[in-house]
């Protein structure tokens, strides 16, 4: 499929939710490879299963069947504790609603993953400052989330996602809650980070502006990959 190395390999991924006695299939056998260092889009309407897939790749959810290899490790075999370690070290997450911790400043929010991975205070602060500078928020470091615009909050979230230098960054509708101008700015930032830091981005979206910036977009519908564009 791709030339070069794949960082994520999804094999026959099935996820069935149980609502009482009714089984609701969210993923019906997904096969997917994500190459290292690219921006890959996952597109599809809501309910298509893109968030579920992202959650499984991100170690937040477990599949009913199938395998997910990230950096050649089958993450479906990891236990709860190993999964949190995986989320901490290997994955950066960007959410639609930014999901910053409201009591913490921009700087502290970026520090959280590094606190969790026990990086010494000095280094942590320095790196958080660096990352905030990278996303263009050096003058917002001491602002709390409710003192920032949506675009600014999302940039803090991006900085946070990069904090522990993860292998993959998962973004679930990262521009779903912000206007077009800001969307373009955010996407330019992501493209920049991808180029300069060689980070792999997997972005679930149905925003054409976002898809345009992706090197490849996988369309997903009713839990299946439709086609590749």
Partner 1 sequence: MEIWKMAFRNISRRKLRTTLTVLGIVVGVSLMLALFSLVSGMDVRVTQMVRALGGADITIYNATFPGRGGQPFGGFGTIMRGTLPIELLQQINQIPGVYIASPQLSFMGYLGSSRITIYGIDPSTYDEVTGGLNIIEGRGLKQEDKNKIVLGKTIVEASNITIGSKVKIGISATEQEDFEVVGVFETGVMFQENAGYITLEDAQRLTGYMGQISQILVKCEDPYIVSEVANTISNLIPGVRITTPTAMITQATQLLNTLTMFFATIGLVALLAGSFGVMNTMFMAISERTREIGILKAIGARNREILKMFLAEAIIIGALGGGIGIIIGAIITYILPMFIPGFIGIAPFIGGTTARGIRQIRTTQTFTPTLTPINIALCFSLGVLVGLLAGLYPAWRASKMKPVEALRHV
Residues near partner 1 (CB under 8 A) are 55, 58, 60-61, 80-81, 84-85, 87-89, 91, 93, 95, 99-104, 111-113, 115-117, 160-161, 164
DSSP for 24-54 reads EEEEEEEEEEEETT-EEEEE--TTSSHHHHH
**Cα 175 from Cα 207, distance rounded (Å):** 8
- What number of other Cβ atoms are within 10 A of residue 195's Cβ? 11
Helix ranges (DSSP H) in 95-173: 106-116, 121-134, 150-162
Q: Evaluate whether 223 touches 23 at the Cβ level (below 8 Å).
A: no
Minimum gap (Å) between residue 212 Cβ and partner 1: 27
Provide the b/e sequence for 2-23 (b: ≥16 CB within 10 Å). Answer: eeeebbbbbbebebeeeeeeee
Q: Which residues pair with 224 in a beta bridge?
A: 221
Q: Which is nearer to partner 1, 157 or 217 (CB)?
A: 157
Q: Which is nearer to partner 1, 193 or 217 (CB)?
A: 193
Minimum gap (Å) between residue 228 Cβ and partner 1: 27
Minimum gap (Å) between residue 88 Cβ and partner 1: 3
**Cα 26 from Cα 224, distance rounded (Å):** 9
Minimum gap (Å) between residue 128 Cβ and partner 1: 12
Q: Which is nearer to partner 1, 170 or 225 (CB)?
A: 170
Minimum gap (Å) between residue 153 Cβ and partner 1: 13
Q: Which is nearer to partner 1, 33 or 61 (CB)?
A: 61
């Amino acid at each position: 499929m791709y030339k070069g190395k794949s960082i994520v390999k999804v094999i026959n991924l099935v996820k069935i939710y149980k609502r009482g006695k009714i089984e609701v299939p969210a993923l019906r056998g997904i096969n997917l490879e994500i190459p290292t260092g690219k921006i890959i889009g996952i597109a599809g309407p809501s309910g298509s299963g893109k968030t579920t897939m992202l959650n499984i790749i991100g170690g937040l959810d477990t599949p009913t069947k199938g395998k997910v290899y990230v950096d050649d490790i089958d993450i479906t075999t990891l236990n709860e504790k190993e999964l949190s370690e995986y989320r901490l070290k290997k994955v950066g997450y960007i959410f639609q609603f930014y999901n910053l911790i409201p009591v913490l400043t921009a700087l502290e929010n970026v520090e959280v993953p590094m606190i969790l991975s026990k990086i010494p205070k000095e280094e942590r602060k320095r790196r958080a400052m660096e990352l905030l500078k990278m996303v263009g928020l050096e003058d917002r470091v001491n602002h709390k989330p409710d003192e920032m615009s949506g675009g600014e909050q999302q940039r803090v979230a991006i900085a946070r996602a990069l904090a522990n230098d993860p292998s993959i960054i998962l973004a679930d509708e990262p521009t779903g809650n912000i206007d077009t101008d800001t969307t373009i700015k955010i996407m330019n930032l992501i493209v920049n980070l991808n180029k300069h830091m060689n980070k792999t981005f997997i972005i679930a979206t149905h925003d054409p502006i976002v898809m345009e910036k992706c090197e490849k977009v996988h369309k997903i519908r009713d839990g299946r990959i439709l086609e590749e564009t």
